[in-house]
Chains A and B, each alone.
Chain A
Amino acid sequence: MPLLQVTDLQVRYGRILGTNGISFSLEAGESLALVGSNGAGKSSTLKAILGMAEWPQGQILLDGQDLRGSKTSDIVRQGVGFSPEGRRVFPMMSVADNLRAGAFTRPREEAAERMEAMFAYFPRLRERAGQRASSLSGGEQQMLAIGRALMSRPRLLLLDEPSLGLAPIIVERIGEIIEEVQRREGLTFILAEQNANWAMRVAKRAVILELGRSTIAGDCATLLDDPRVQNAYLGL
Protein backbone atom coordinates (compact mmCIF):
# COMPACT_ATOMS: atom_id res chain seq x y z
CA MET A 1 0.00 0.00 0.00
CA PRO A 2 1.43 3.40 -0.90
CA LEU A 3 2.05 5.89 1.93
CA LEU A 4 0.26 8.59 -0.03
CA GLN A 5 -2.09 8.25 -2.96
CA VAL A 6 -3.58 11.28 -4.69
CA THR A 7 -6.22 10.60 -7.33
CA ASP A 8 -7.75 13.11 -9.73
CA LEU A 9 -7.42 15.94 -7.21
CA GLN A 10 -9.38 19.12 -7.79
CA VAL A 11 -8.67 22.02 -5.44
CA ARG A 12 -10.95 25.04 -5.41
CA TYR A 13 -10.68 28.48 -3.86
CA GLY A 14 -14.29 29.60 -4.11
CA ARG A 15 -14.92 29.73 -7.86
CA ILE A 16 -11.27 29.59 -8.79
CA LEU A 17 -9.67 26.23 -9.60
CA GLY A 18 -6.37 25.54 -7.85
CA THR A 19 -5.80 22.18 -9.52
CA ASN A 20 -7.90 20.18 -11.92
CA GLY A 21 -6.93 16.53 -12.07
CA ILE A 22 -3.69 15.68 -10.31
CA SER A 23 -2.79 12.05 -9.62
CA PHE A 24 0.32 10.44 -8.19
CA SER A 25 1.29 8.00 -5.49
CA LEU A 26 4.26 7.67 -3.20
CA GLU A 27 5.68 4.63 -1.38
CA ALA A 28 7.27 5.01 2.06
CA GLY A 29 10.90 6.11 1.74
CA GLU A 30 10.39 7.52 -1.76
CA SER A 31 10.92 11.09 -2.83
CA LEU A 32 8.91 13.01 -5.38
CA ALA A 33 9.44 16.32 -7.12
CA LEU A 34 6.31 18.24 -8.10
CA VAL A 35 7.57 20.41 -10.91
CA GLY A 36 5.73 23.16 -12.71
CA SER A 37 5.60 26.88 -13.32
CA ASN A 38 3.73 29.47 -11.29
CA GLY A 39 0.08 28.56 -10.91
CA ALA A 40 0.53 24.97 -12.05
CA GLY A 41 -1.01 23.72 -8.81
CA LYS A 42 2.01 22.71 -6.73
CA SER A 43 1.14 24.66 -3.58
CA SER A 44 -2.55 23.83 -3.93
CA THR A 45 -1.74 20.13 -3.98
CA LEU A 46 0.40 20.37 -0.85
CA LYS A 47 -2.22 22.45 0.96
CA ALA A 48 -4.92 19.94 0.07
CA ILE A 49 -2.85 17.06 1.50
CA LEU A 50 -2.47 19.05 4.72
CA GLY A 51 -6.19 19.85 4.92
CA MET A 52 -5.63 23.55 4.32
CA ALA A 53 -7.49 23.85 1.03
CA GLU A 54 -10.90 22.71 -0.17
CA TRP A 55 -10.91 19.81 -2.64
CA PRO A 56 -14.44 19.06 -3.83
CA GLN A 57 -13.28 16.29 -6.17
CA GLY A 58 -10.73 13.52 -6.03
CA GLN A 59 -9.24 11.43 -3.27
CA ILE A 60 -6.25 11.68 -0.95
CA LEU A 61 -5.29 8.52 0.93
CA LEU A 62 -2.65 8.50 3.68
CA ASP A 63 -1.83 4.89 4.66
CA GLY A 64 -4.96 3.93 2.75
CA GLN A 65 -7.08 6.20 4.94
CA ASP A 66 -9.20 8.90 3.32
CA LEU A 67 -8.13 12.37 4.47
CA ARG A 68 -11.36 14.06 3.41
CA GLY A 69 -12.71 16.09 6.32
CA SER A 70 -9.61 15.62 8.51
CA LYS A 71 -8.34 18.64 10.43
CA THR A 72 -4.86 19.96 9.80
CA SER A 73 -3.80 19.33 13.40
CA ASP A 74 -4.86 15.67 13.07
CA ILE A 75 -3.08 15.27 9.74
CA VAL A 76 0.13 16.63 11.33
CA ARG A 77 -0.38 14.14 14.18
CA GLN A 78 -0.60 11.36 11.61
CA GLY A 79 2.91 12.22 10.52
CA VAL A 80 2.75 14.88 7.80
CA GLY A 81 5.16 17.82 8.10
CA PHE A 82 4.91 21.00 6.05
CA SER A 83 7.45 23.67 5.25
CA PRO A 84 5.42 26.42 3.56
CA GLU A 85 6.51 28.71 0.77
CA GLY A 86 8.48 31.85 1.54
CA ARG A 87 10.62 30.57 4.49
CA ARG A 88 7.90 31.16 7.00
CA VAL A 89 9.17 31.37 10.57
CA PHE A 90 7.82 32.87 13.80
CA PRO A 91 9.79 36.13 13.48
CA MET A 92 9.88 37.38 17.07
CA MET A 93 10.46 33.97 18.63
CA SER A 94 13.94 32.57 19.20
CA VAL A 95 15.34 29.93 16.87
CA ALA A 96 15.04 27.32 19.63
CA ASP A 97 11.40 28.27 20.32
CA ASN A 98 10.62 28.10 16.59
CA LEU A 99 11.89 24.53 16.60
CA ARG A 100 10.03 23.65 19.80
CA ALA A 101 6.80 25.00 18.31
CA GLY A 102 7.27 22.46 15.51
CA ALA A 103 7.17 19.64 18.06
CA PHE A 104 3.79 20.68 19.49
CA THR A 105 2.19 17.39 18.52
CA ARG A 106 4.98 15.30 20.11
CA PRO A 107 5.77 14.41 23.74
CA ARG A 108 8.05 16.88 25.49
CA GLU A 109 10.98 14.46 26.04
CA GLU A 110 11.12 13.89 22.33
CA ALA A 111 11.34 17.61 21.55
CA ALA A 112 14.75 18.01 23.23
CA GLU A 113 16.09 14.97 21.42
CA ARG A 114 14.72 16.19 18.07
CA MET A 115 16.23 19.62 18.62
CA GLU A 116 19.67 18.02 19.02
CA ALA A 117 19.07 16.15 15.79
CA MET A 118 18.13 19.42 14.03
CA PHE A 119 21.26 21.13 15.36
CA ALA A 120 23.28 18.24 13.95
CA TYR A 121 21.67 18.66 10.51
CA PHE A 122 21.82 22.46 10.63
CA PRO A 123 24.84 23.49 12.78
CA ARG A 124 24.17 27.18 12.03
CA LEU A 125 20.91 26.97 13.94
CA ARG A 126 22.72 25.83 17.08
CA GLU A 127 24.95 28.93 16.92
CA ARG A 128 21.86 31.10 16.62
CA ALA A 129 19.58 29.20 19.03
CA GLY A 130 18.84 32.20 21.28
CA GLN A 131 18.44 34.74 18.49
CA ARG A 132 15.22 36.06 17.04
CA ALA A 133 14.26 34.17 13.90
CA SER A 134 13.81 37.48 12.06
CA SER A 135 17.50 38.25 12.52
CA LEU A 136 18.56 35.21 10.47
CA SER A 137 19.65 35.39 6.84
CA GLY A 138 17.33 34.08 4.13
CA GLY A 139 19.15 30.75 3.87
CA GLU A 140 19.16 30.30 7.63
CA GLN A 141 15.46 31.09 7.80
CA GLN A 142 14.76 28.45 5.16
CA MET A 143 16.82 25.93 7.14
CA LEU A 144 14.86 26.88 10.27
CA ALA A 145 11.57 26.46 8.40
CA ILE A 146 12.59 22.98 7.28
CA GLY A 147 13.95 22.15 10.74
CA ARG A 148 10.66 23.26 12.30
CA ALA A 149 8.75 20.96 9.96
CA LEU A 150 11.12 18.07 10.77
CA MET A 151 10.71 18.50 14.55
CA SER A 152 7.50 16.49 14.55
CA ARG A 153 9.45 13.54 13.04
CA PRO A 154 7.17 13.43 10.00
CA ARG A 155 6.90 10.30 7.90
CA LEU A 156 5.96 12.52 4.98
CA LEU A 157 7.51 15.96 4.58
CA LEU A 158 5.97 18.50 2.20
CA LEU A 159 8.41 21.16 1.02
CA ASP A 160 6.98 24.14 -0.82
CA GLU A 161 9.58 26.00 -2.94
CA PRO A 162 12.50 25.80 -0.51
CA SER A 163 14.88 27.18 -3.17
CA LEU A 164 12.93 30.39 -3.78
CA GLY A 165 15.13 33.47 -3.65
CA LEU A 166 18.20 31.71 -2.26
CA ALA A 167 21.78 31.73 -3.57
CA PRO A 168 22.63 28.58 -5.60
CA ILE A 169 25.23 27.44 -3.08
CA ILE A 170 22.64 27.58 -0.26
CA VAL A 171 20.13 25.71 -2.44
CA GLU A 172 22.70 22.95 -3.02
CA ARG A 173 23.38 22.75 0.71
CA ILE A 174 19.67 22.45 1.50
CA GLY A 175 19.39 19.65 -1.05
CA GLU A 176 22.26 17.79 0.62
CA ILE A 177 20.64 18.13 4.04
CA ILE A 178 17.27 16.86 2.77
CA GLU A 179 19.03 13.83 1.28
CA GLU A 180 20.90 13.25 4.53
CA VAL A 181 17.66 13.34 6.57
CA GLN A 182 16.15 10.88 4.11
CA ARG A 183 19.11 8.51 4.47
CA ARG A 184 19.11 8.62 8.26
CA GLU A 185 15.40 8.69 9.03
CA GLY A 186 13.87 6.99 6.03
CA LEU A 187 11.98 10.20 5.34
CA THR A 188 9.49 10.35 2.50
CA PHE A 189 9.24 13.79 0.94
CA ILE A 190 7.49 15.79 -1.74
CA LEU A 191 9.42 18.71 -3.13
CA ALA A 192 7.26 21.29 -4.93
CA GLU A 193 9.62 23.39 -7.05
CA GLN A 194 9.94 25.74 -9.99
CA ASN A 195 13.66 25.01 -9.99
CA ALA A 196 13.13 21.75 -11.89
CA ASN A 197 16.77 21.02 -12.49
CA TRP A 198 17.61 21.06 -8.79
CA ALA A 199 14.42 19.37 -7.59
CA MET A 200 14.87 16.48 -10.02
CA ARG A 201 18.39 15.88 -8.77
CA VAL A 202 17.28 15.82 -5.11
CA ALA A 203 14.18 13.64 -5.62
CA LYS A 204 14.07 10.20 -7.29
CA ARG A 205 10.79 10.56 -9.12
CA ALA A 206 8.98 13.55 -10.56
CA VAL A 207 5.51 14.59 -11.64
CA ILE A 208 5.21 17.51 -14.02
CA LEU A 209 2.21 19.77 -13.46
CA GLU A 210 0.74 22.00 -16.14
CA LEU A 211 -2.27 24.26 -15.61
CA GLY A 212 -3.49 22.24 -12.66
CA ARG A 213 -3.03 18.80 -14.22
CA SER A 214 -0.34 16.17 -13.84
CA THR A 215 1.01 15.55 -17.33
CA ILE A 216 4.30 13.66 -17.33
CA ALA A 217 5.54 11.38 -14.56
CA GLY A 218 8.56 9.13 -14.15
CA ASP A 219 12.04 8.65 -12.74
CA CYS A 220 14.00 11.86 -12.55
CA ALA A 221 16.96 10.27 -14.32
CA THR A 222 14.73 9.46 -17.32
CA LEU A 223 12.85 12.75 -17.28
CA LEU A 224 16.06 14.78 -17.20
CA ASP A 225 16.83 13.26 -20.63
CA ASP A 226 13.28 13.66 -21.94
CA PRO A 227 13.29 16.36 -24.66
CA ARG A 228 9.80 17.60 -23.69
CA VAL A 229 10.99 18.25 -20.12
CA GLN A 230 14.32 19.63 -21.24
CA ASN A 231 12.57 22.15 -23.48
CA ALA A 232 9.97 23.34 -21.07
CA TYR A 233 11.62 23.16 -17.66
CA LEU A 234 15.35 22.77 -17.87
CA GLY A 235 16.07 25.51 -20.37
CA LEU A 236 18.24 23.19 -22.51
Chain B
Amino acid sequence: MTDASLSPLALAPRAGGRPLAIAAAVVAVLALVPLVIADKFILSLGSTVFITAIAAASLHLIIRTGHISLGHAAFMGIGAYASVLTVMELGLPFAAGVLAAFVAPCLLALAIGPLVLRLTGKYFVLVTFLFGEIVRMVFVEWKSVTGGANGIFGIPAPAPVFNDPAAYYYLSLGAGVLLVGFIARLLASEVGRAIDAVRESERLAHCSGIPVLRLKVTIFALGCGIVGIAGALQGHFIRYVDPTSYSVVQSLNLVVVNVIGGMQTLVGPLVGTLFYLILPEMLRGYVELQRIIFGIILIIVMAFLPGGLVELGGRALQLVRRRAGS
Protein backbone atom coordinates (compact mmCIF):
# COMPACT_ATOMS: atom_id res chain seq x y z
CA MET B 1 0.00 0.00 0.00
CA THR B 2 1.51 3.33 -1.01
CA ASP B 3 1.31 6.38 1.21
CA ALA B 4 -0.41 8.37 -1.52
CA SER B 5 -3.43 6.10 -1.42
CA LEU B 6 -3.99 6.71 2.28
CA SER B 7 -7.00 8.85 2.96
CA PRO B 8 -5.91 12.34 4.09
CA LEU B 9 -8.85 12.25 6.45
CA ALA B 10 -7.33 9.18 8.06
CA LEU B 11 -4.44 11.46 9.04
CA ALA B 12 -6.78 14.00 10.58
CA PRO B 13 -6.34 14.49 14.31
CA ARG B 14 -8.43 12.07 16.28
CA ALA B 15 -9.15 12.39 19.97
CA GLY B 16 -6.87 9.94 21.70
CA GLY B 17 -3.53 8.48 20.63
CA ARG B 18 -0.52 10.45 19.45
CA PRO B 19 -2.23 13.57 18.05
CA LEU B 20 -3.66 14.23 21.51
CA ALA B 21 -0.20 13.87 23.08
CA ILE B 22 1.26 16.30 20.52
CA ALA B 23 -1.54 18.79 21.14
CA ALA B 24 -0.99 18.54 24.91
CA ALA B 25 2.75 19.14 24.46
CA VAL B 26 2.12 22.22 22.27
CA VAL B 27 -0.33 23.65 24.82
CA ALA B 28 2.15 22.99 27.66
CA VAL B 29 4.89 24.87 25.80
CA LEU B 30 2.51 27.75 25.02
CA ALA B 31 1.52 27.90 28.70
CA LEU B 32 5.19 28.29 29.68
CA VAL B 33 5.85 31.20 27.28
CA PRO B 34 4.75 34.03 29.63
CA LEU B 35 7.02 32.63 32.35
CA VAL B 36 10.03 32.91 30.07
CA ILE B 37 9.20 35.93 27.91
CA ALA B 38 7.83 39.00 29.65
CA ASP B 39 7.72 41.06 26.45
CA LYS B 40 4.26 42.67 26.25
CA PHE B 41 4.33 42.78 22.47
CA ILE B 42 5.00 39.05 22.17
CA LEU B 43 2.27 38.22 24.70
CA SER B 44 -0.24 40.44 22.90
CA LEU B 45 0.70 38.83 19.60
CA GLY B 46 0.10 35.48 21.32
CA SER B 47 -3.43 36.52 22.33
CA THR B 48 -4.13 37.65 18.75
CA VAL B 49 -2.87 34.31 17.43
CA PHE B 50 -5.14 32.34 19.79
CA ILE B 51 -8.20 34.46 19.01
CA THR B 52 -7.58 34.23 15.24
CA ALA B 53 -6.98 30.50 15.60
CA ILE B 54 -10.43 30.09 17.18
CA ALA B 55 -11.99 32.10 14.34
CA ALA B 56 -10.10 30.17 11.65
CA ALA B 57 -10.92 26.81 13.24
CA SER B 58 -14.62 27.69 13.42
CA LEU B 59 -14.54 28.55 9.71
CA HIS B 60 -12.74 25.25 9.09
CA LEU B 61 -15.68 23.48 10.72
CA ILE B 62 -18.04 25.07 8.17
CA ILE B 63 -15.61 24.48 5.28
CA ARG B 64 -15.56 20.79 6.16
CA THR B 65 -19.24 20.58 5.17
CA GLY B 66 -18.17 21.86 1.74
CA HIS B 67 -19.21 25.50 2.14
CA ILE B 68 -16.71 28.36 2.05
CA SER B 69 -18.27 31.34 3.80
CA LEU B 70 -17.15 34.85 2.89
CA GLY B 71 -19.27 36.28 5.68
CA HIS B 72 -17.56 34.71 8.66
CA ALA B 73 -16.09 37.96 10.00
CA ALA B 74 -19.61 39.43 10.04
CA PHE B 75 -20.64 36.77 12.57
CA MET B 76 -17.46 37.52 14.51
CA GLY B 77 -18.49 41.16 14.54
CA ILE B 78 -22.00 40.33 15.70
CA GLY B 79 -20.43 38.39 18.58
CA ALA B 80 -18.09 41.26 19.41
CA TYR B 81 -20.87 43.88 19.42
CA ALA B 82 -23.23 41.55 21.32
CA SER B 83 -20.69 41.01 24.09
CA VAL B 84 -19.57 44.63 24.28
CA LEU B 85 -23.16 45.89 24.43
CA THR B 86 -24.13 43.28 27.02
CA VAL B 87 -21.26 44.35 29.26
CA MET B 88 -21.35 48.12 28.66
CA GLU B 89 -25.06 48.84 28.16
CA LEU B 90 -26.65 46.18 30.35
CA GLY B 91 -23.88 46.21 32.95
CA LEU B 92 -23.69 42.42 33.01
CA PRO B 93 -20.47 40.48 33.68
CA PHE B 94 -18.13 39.32 30.88
CA ALA B 95 -19.46 35.75 31.12
CA ALA B 96 -22.89 37.02 30.07
CA GLY B 97 -21.20 38.89 27.22
CA VAL B 98 -19.56 35.69 26.01
CA LEU B 99 -22.90 33.91 26.17
CA ALA B 100 -24.51 36.68 24.11
CA ALA B 101 -21.55 36.55 21.71
CA PHE B 102 -22.29 32.87 21.10
CA VAL B 103 -26.08 33.03 21.01
CA ALA B 104 -26.58 36.09 18.77
CA PRO B 105 -24.63 34.93 15.69
CA CYS B 106 -25.85 31.37 16.30
CA LEU B 107 -29.51 32.44 16.11
CA LEU B 108 -28.90 34.53 13.01
CA ALA B 109 -27.14 31.58 11.37
CA LEU B 110 -30.07 29.31 12.27
CA ALA B 111 -32.40 31.81 10.61
CA ILE B 112 -30.51 32.24 7.33
CA GLY B 113 -28.89 28.75 7.25
CA PRO B 114 -31.87 26.80 5.86
CA LEU B 115 -32.00 29.26 2.95
CA VAL B 116 -28.34 29.84 2.08
CA LEU B 117 -27.10 26.29 2.73
CA ARG B 118 -29.24 25.00 -0.13
CA LEU B 119 -26.79 26.86 -2.34
CA THR B 120 -23.47 25.26 -3.15
CA GLY B 121 -20.08 26.32 -4.45
CA LYS B 122 -19.76 29.82 -5.84
CA TYR B 123 -23.39 30.69 -5.14
CA PHE B 124 -22.92 30.14 -1.43
CA VAL B 125 -19.69 32.16 -1.53
CA LEU B 126 -21.47 35.06 -3.27
CA VAL B 127 -24.46 35.08 -0.96
CA THR B 128 -22.30 35.01 2.18
CA PHE B 129 -20.19 37.82 0.66
CA LEU B 130 -23.34 39.92 0.25
CA PHE B 131 -24.51 38.97 3.73
CA GLY B 132 -21.20 40.13 5.18
CA GLU B 133 -21.58 43.49 3.45
CA ILE B 134 -25.14 43.88 4.72
CA VAL B 135 -24.04 43.20 8.30
CA ARG B 136 -21.17 45.69 7.94
CA MET B 137 -23.60 48.33 6.69
CA VAL B 138 -25.87 47.66 9.65
CA PHE B 139 -22.87 48.22 11.95
CA VAL B 140 -22.20 51.53 10.17
CA GLU B 141 -25.78 52.80 9.96
CA TRP B 142 -27.28 51.69 13.27
CA LYS B 143 -25.47 54.53 15.02
CA SER B 144 -27.54 54.61 18.22
CA VAL B 145 -26.45 51.07 19.09
CA THR B 146 -23.14 50.44 17.33
CA GLY B 147 -21.67 53.92 17.36
CA GLY B 148 -21.64 53.94 13.56
CA ALA B 149 -18.36 54.11 11.66
CA ASN B 150 -16.58 55.39 14.78
CA GLY B 151 -17.32 52.18 16.60
CA ILE B 152 -17.30 51.80 20.38
CA PHE B 153 -14.35 52.98 22.50
CA GLY B 154 -13.30 52.32 26.06
CA ILE B 155 -14.40 48.71 26.25
CA PRO B 156 -13.40 47.32 29.64
CA ALA B 157 -11.22 44.24 30.09
CA PRO B 158 -13.18 41.11 31.12
CA ALA B 159 -11.92 41.79 34.67
CA PRO B 160 -9.29 44.20 36.03
CA VAL B 161 -6.70 41.42 36.18
CA PHE B 162 -6.89 41.01 32.39
CA ASN B 163 -5.32 44.43 31.86
CA ASP B 164 -2.11 42.46 32.22
CA PRO B 165 -1.11 41.05 28.78
CA ALA B 166 0.09 37.81 30.40
CA ALA B 167 -3.34 37.27 31.98
CA TYR B 168 -5.09 37.91 28.66
CA TYR B 169 -2.62 35.54 27.02
CA TYR B 170 -3.80 32.79 29.36
CA LEU B 171 -7.46 33.71 28.93
CA SER B 172 -7.29 33.47 25.14
CA LEU B 173 -5.09 30.36 25.29
CA GLY B 174 -7.65 28.71 27.59
CA ALA B 175 -10.51 29.69 25.30
CA GLY B 176 -8.53 28.42 22.29
CA VAL B 177 -7.85 25.04 23.93
CA LEU B 178 -11.50 24.66 24.91
CA LEU B 179 -13.07 25.72 21.63
CA VAL B 180 -10.54 24.21 19.20
CA GLY B 181 -10.54 21.08 21.35
CA PHE B 182 -14.30 20.95 21.09
CA ILE B 183 -14.11 21.28 17.28
CA ALA B 184 -11.46 18.52 17.16
CA ARG B 185 -13.66 16.19 19.21
CA LEU B 186 -16.65 16.95 17.03
CA LEU B 187 -14.74 16.28 13.81
CA ALA B 188 -13.39 13.00 15.18
CA SER B 189 -16.86 11.78 16.16
CA GLU B 190 -19.64 10.13 14.16
CA VAL B 191 -20.90 13.63 13.42
CA GLY B 192 -17.51 14.49 11.97
CA ARG B 193 -17.71 11.51 9.67
CA ALA B 194 -21.17 12.60 8.57
CA ILE B 195 -19.77 16.11 7.91
CA ASP B 196 -17.06 14.63 5.68
CA ALA B 197 -19.62 12.45 3.94
CA VAL B 198 -21.80 15.48 3.18
CA ARG B 199 -18.83 17.33 1.68
CA GLU B 200 -17.75 14.34 -0.42
CA SER B 201 -21.19 13.68 -1.85
CA GLU B 202 -24.38 15.26 -0.57
CA ARG B 203 -26.58 12.88 -2.53
CA LEU B 204 -24.83 9.78 -1.27
CA ALA B 205 -24.89 11.12 2.31
CA HIS B 206 -28.59 11.73 1.80
CA CYS B 207 -29.25 8.14 0.80
CA SER B 208 -27.17 6.90 3.74
CA GLY B 209 -29.83 8.44 5.98
CA ILE B 210 -27.82 11.51 6.99
CA PRO B 211 -30.20 14.50 7.39
CA VAL B 212 -28.00 16.66 5.16
CA LEU B 213 -29.62 20.08 5.46
CA ARG B 214 -30.25 19.79 9.19
CA LEU B 215 -26.62 18.77 9.77
CA LYS B 216 -25.30 21.62 7.62
CA VAL B 217 -27.47 24.21 9.37
CA THR B 218 -26.44 22.93 12.82
CA ILE B 219 -22.73 23.01 11.97
CA PHE B 220 -23.06 26.44 10.33
CA ALA B 221 -24.78 27.82 13.44
CA LEU B 222 -22.17 26.24 15.72
CA GLY B 223 -19.30 27.67 13.65
CA CYS B 224 -20.91 31.12 13.69
CA GLY B 225 -21.49 30.93 17.45
CA ILE B 226 -17.87 29.97 18.10
CA VAL B 227 -16.52 32.78 15.92
CA GLY B 228 -18.83 35.09 17.90
CA ILE B 229 -16.93 34.13 21.07
CA ALA B 230 -13.67 34.88 19.24
CA GLY B 231 -15.17 38.29 18.40
CA ALA B 232 -15.95 38.93 22.06
CA LEU B 233 -12.41 37.98 23.10
CA GLN B 234 -11.02 40.31 20.44
CA GLY B 235 -13.29 43.24 21.34
CA HIS B 236 -12.41 43.14 25.02
CA PHE B 237 -8.76 42.67 24.13
CA ILE B 238 -8.34 45.58 21.69
CA ARG B 239 -10.86 47.59 23.79
CA TYR B 240 -12.41 48.91 20.63
CA VAL B 241 -14.86 47.60 18.01
CA ASP B 242 -15.65 49.19 14.66
CA PRO B 243 -17.21 47.99 11.39
CA THR B 244 -13.95 47.77 9.42
CA SER B 245 -12.63 45.11 11.81
CA TYR B 246 -15.39 42.79 10.61
CA SER B 247 -15.57 43.57 6.91
CA VAL B 248 -15.40 41.18 3.99
CA VAL B 249 -11.62 41.71 3.91
CA GLN B 250 -11.43 40.07 7.34
CA SER B 251 -13.66 37.23 6.14
CA LEU B 252 -11.33 36.77 3.20
CA ASN B 253 -8.34 36.70 5.56
CA LEU B 254 -9.95 33.84 7.49
CA VAL B 255 -10.45 31.94 4.23
CA VAL B 256 -6.82 32.63 3.23
CA VAL B 257 -5.63 31.31 6.60
CA ASN B 258 -7.52 28.08 5.91
CA VAL B 259 -6.25 27.78 2.34
CA ILE B 260 -2.61 28.41 3.27
CA GLY B 261 -2.67 26.04 6.22
CA GLY B 262 -4.75 23.38 4.51
CA MET B 263 -8.45 22.66 4.44
CA GLN B 264 -8.40 18.91 4.91
CA THR B 265 -7.54 18.76 8.60
CA LEU B 266 -8.10 20.98 11.61
CA VAL B 267 -4.33 21.43 11.94
CA GLY B 268 -4.46 23.43 8.69
CA PRO B 269 -6.14 26.61 9.98
CA LEU B 270 -3.95 26.53 13.10
CA VAL B 271 -0.75 26.39 11.06
CA GLY B 272 -2.25 28.96 8.68
CA THR B 273 -3.00 31.35 11.55
CA LEU B 274 0.54 31.11 12.81
CA PHE B 275 1.93 31.72 9.34
CA TYR B 276 -0.48 34.55 8.62
CA LEU B 277 0.24 36.48 11.84
CA ILE B 278 3.91 35.68 12.45
CA LEU B 279 5.25 36.15 8.90
CA PRO B 280 4.34 39.87 8.68
CA GLU B 281 6.14 40.41 11.98
CA MET B 282 9.22 38.77 10.55
CA LEU B 283 8.98 40.92 7.42
CA ARG B 284 8.77 44.14 9.44
CA GLY B 285 11.87 45.48 7.70
CA TYR B 286 10.21 45.21 4.29
CA VAL B 287 6.86 46.81 4.93
CA GLU B 288 6.34 47.77 1.29
CA LEU B 289 7.10 44.20 0.13
CA GLN B 290 5.04 42.39 2.79
CA ARG B 291 1.87 42.10 0.75
CA ILE B 292 3.75 41.07 -2.38
CA ILE B 293 5.72 38.35 -0.60
CA PHE B 294 2.55 37.15 1.06
CA GLY B 295 0.73 37.10 -2.28
CA ILE B 296 3.51 35.11 -3.94
CA ILE B 297 3.47 32.55 -1.13
CA LEU B 298 -0.30 32.27 -1.44
CA ILE B 299 -0.06 31.63 -5.19
CA ILE B 300 2.64 29.01 -4.68
CA VAL B 301 0.58 27.20 -2.05
CA MET B 302 -2.55 27.22 -4.20
CA ALA B 303 -0.69 26.02 -7.29
CA PHE B 304 1.47 23.30 -5.78
CA LEU B 305 0.06 22.40 -2.39
CA PRO B 306 -3.70 21.80 -2.56
CA GLY B 307 -3.40 20.43 0.97
CA GLY B 308 -1.74 23.62 2.21
CA LEU B 309 1.33 23.93 4.42
CA VAL B 310 0.17 20.88 6.36
CA GLU B 311 0.68 18.85 3.20
CA LEU B 312 4.21 20.27 2.87
CA GLY B 313 4.90 19.18 6.45
CA GLY B 314 3.44 15.74 5.76
CA ARG B 315 5.62 15.29 2.67
CA ALA B 316 8.73 16.37 4.55
CA LEU B 317 7.93 13.90 7.32
CA GLN B 318 7.52 11.09 4.76
CA LEU B 319 10.86 11.98 3.20
CA VAL B 320 12.60 11.89 6.58
CA ARG B 321 11.01 8.55 7.42
CA ARG B 322 12.00 7.08 4.06
CA ARG B 323 15.61 8.27 4.57
CA ALA B 324 15.61 6.83 8.06
CA GLY B 325 14.11 3.59 6.80
CA SER B 326 16.54 3.00 3.91
Residues on A lying within 8 angstroms of B by beta carbon are 50, 52, 71-73, 75-77, 82, 84, 88-94, 97, 100-102, 104-105, 108, 130-133, 135, 148-149, 152
State how many angstroms separate the Cβ of B200 from the closest Cβ of chain A. Answer: 4
Mark each residue of chain B from 178 to 215: 1 if its CB lies under 8 Å from any CB of chain A, else 0: 00000000000010011011001101111111110000
State how many angstroms separate the Cβ of A43 from the closest Cβ of chain B. Answer: 12
Q: Within 8 Å of chain A (Cβ to Cβ): is B144?
A: no
CA distance in complex: A233, B106 (Å): 57
Task: Specify which chain A residues have a CB less than 8 angstroms from the CB of B9 in the assembled complex.
Answer: 92-94, 97
Q: Are A100 and B209 in contact, CB atoms less than 8 angstroms apart?
A: no
Task: Specify which chain A residues have a CB less than 8 angstroms from the CB of B193 in the assembled complex.
Answer: 93, 97, 100-101, 104
Q: Within 8 Å of chain A (Cβ to Cβ): is B7?
A: yes
User: If the complex has contacts A73-B209, A131-B6, are A88 and B194 also in contact, measured as CB distance less than 8 A?
Assistant: no
Count, A-B residue pairs, CB within 8 A:
89
Q: Within 8 Å of chain A (Cβ to Cβ): is B326?
A: no
Main SS of the interface on chain B?
helix
CA distance in complex: A50, B190 (Å): 23
Q: Within 8 Å of chain A (Cβ to Cβ): is B1?
A: yes
Task: Specify which chain A residues have a CB less than 8 angstroms from the CB of B194 in the assembled complex.
Answer: 101, 104
Interface residues on B, range: 20 to 34
CA distance in complex: A50, B5 (Å): 33
CA distance in complex: A93, B9 (Å): 6
State how many angstroms separate the Cβ of A123 from the closest Cβ of chain B. Answer: 16
Task: Specify which chain B residues have a CB less than 8 angstroms from the CB of A92 in the assembled complex.
Answer: 7-9, 196, 200
State how many angstroms separate the Cβ of A217 from the closest Cβ of chain B. Answer: 26
Q: Are B205 and A84 in contact, CB atoms less than 8 angstroms apart?
A: no
Q: Are B201 and A152 in contact, CB atoms less than 8 angstroms apart?
A: no
Closest to B206 in A: A72
CA distance in complex: A87, B229 (Å): 43
Q: Within 8 Å of chain A (Cβ to Cβ): is B296?
A: no
